Amino acid sequence: MSKPRPARRMVIMLLSVGLLFFLVFGFGTFKSIMIAKFLAGYANQVQTVATMTAGEQPWQPNLQSVGSVSAVNGAAISAEIGGIVDTIHFASGQDVRKGALLLTLRENNDPAVLAQLQAQAALAAITAARDAKQLAANAISRAQLDSDRAQLASAQAQVAAQQALMQEKTIRAPFAGRLGINLVNVGQYLAAGTAIVNLEQLNPVHVDFHLPQAAVSQLAVGQKVDVAVDAYPGQVFSGTITALDSSIDVATRSIAVRATLDNAKLLLRPGMFGTITVSTGAPQSFVTLPQTAITYNSYGDTVYVVSKGKDAKGNPDLIANQVFVTLGDTRGDQVAVLTGVQPGDVVVVAGQVKLRNGALVAINNKLLPSNDPNPTPANE
């Protein structure tokens, strides 16, 4: 077999090099062209979005927290001494006045002991009076009269002590309020300090909550407070701040705040959990948007603003352009936009995840995200 001529070998080598060059560079260029065509085709696609026209709304600067309702006066009623329950004078859930009789313990021999002590006190009084006359006639010494008077004072003190002991077996309401559930029964032995029933003064009530130390300069006694509880959706209870703690909690770096609320309808109960809003200044006007309109990024928050433009063929169409925004406080579903959006701008509030700068859009506002400053979602 004859060997390939040098010219054939050269042609084969050049073809091999050309093929290799195409595979290395030509395929990459081809792929880039195809990707560019795909992106160009995607750019021409119209994306359906939901929009909302930005507008200014009054905005009340506030601080928010959570806290608990507590009674202005509340106590677990108990006996100061032990004894057998003789009579219960109240019903569970009853409203009572201050001083109302609630419960009496069995007297046992207390009346007899009191009678004995009163008799001794009466005798001591007679003796002291007689000796005073005898001292006037110089029949006894001054020391004897002083001893008689001391015995009289001691006897009277024992009578007072017995009367106080008997009064401790009669339990009365220390203030007006509403009783809770009865915790004792007739005939039951009560040790000193055993709870009988809870008594709560329900009007007015306190709400106790905490705010971060950075908010201290914005707080003052008399500020308006709104409280919402999940027991009454959509209803707001108003009150005022009545006390600020004298120190900052070193563990949480927060300050304890107490507000007082009118509770004439007795809807609020001690122990309820509530959401508190504290008004901190005069109302202002801000451009507001649903929070769903914001694309949050570490390099800056953005929204898409829709305006009239032209597509790739020069035809009129709607274009979405990305705009950086500066955000303020939030309330419910809304966020305040400080810069970047002007009143009247049409902003994409749903569907922006599929957009890029300059994308063509079509508007469909049949379903819009919630834009409620005070949403009250149903418990399901």
Model confidence over 234-244: pLDDT tens digits? Answer: 889 999 999 99
Task: Give the model confidence (pLDDT) of 27-86 as tens digits.
Answer: 555 555 555 454 455 456 888 999 999 988 888 778 889 999 999 998 999 988 889 999
- Evaluate if residue 1 carries a pLDDT over 50: no
For residues 100-108, give the mean pLDDT.
Answer: 90
Largest CA distance in the chain: 173
- Residue 197 confidence (pLDDT): 93
**What is d(CA 171, CA 101) in angstroms, rounded to the nearest whole number?**
6
The pLDDT assigned to 121 comes to 86
pLDDT at 368 over 90: no
Rounded distance between C-alpha atoms, residue 285 and residue 265, angstroms: 35
Token reading at 368 = 């819009």
Q: Which of 19-28, 148-157, 265-274 is least confident?
A: 19-28
At residue 34, the pLDDT reads: 54
Task: Quickly list DSSP for 163-218.
Answer: HHHHHTTEEE-SSSEEE------TT-EE-TT-EEEEEE--SSEEEEEEEEGGGGGG
Give the total residue count for the chain. 380
Looking at residue 142, what is its pLDDT? 85
pLDDT value at 254 more than 90: yes
pLDDT at 380: 45
Please determine, for residue 313, whether its predicted confidence score (pLDDT) is greater than 80: no
Would you tell me how many other CB atoms lie within 10 Å of the CB of residue 340?
A: 19
d(CA 377, CA 380): 9
* Of 163 and 269, more confident: 269
Whole-number pLDDT of residue 111: 85
Over residues 354-369, mean pLDDT: 88
**Residue 282, pLDDT above cutoff 80:** no
Helix axes 110-136, 142-167, angle to 10 degrees: 160
pLDDT in tens, 330-352: 888 889 999 999 999 999 999 88
DSSP 219: -
pLDDT at 221 over 90: yes
pLDDT digits (tens, 9 = 90+) for 292-312: 999 998 889 999 999 887 666
The Cα–Cα gap between 72 and 242 comes to 12
- According to the model, what pLDDT value does residue 31 have? 52
Average pLDDT, the chain: 85
pLDDT number for residue 38: 47
Supply the pLDDT for residue 274: 92
Which of 165, 257, 176 has the alpha carbon at shortest distance from 220?
257
Q: Would you place residue 17 in the very low, low, confident or very high pLDDT band (cuts 50, 70, 90)?
A: low
pLDDT digits (tens, 9 = 90+) for 173-198: 999 999 999 999 999 998 988 999 99
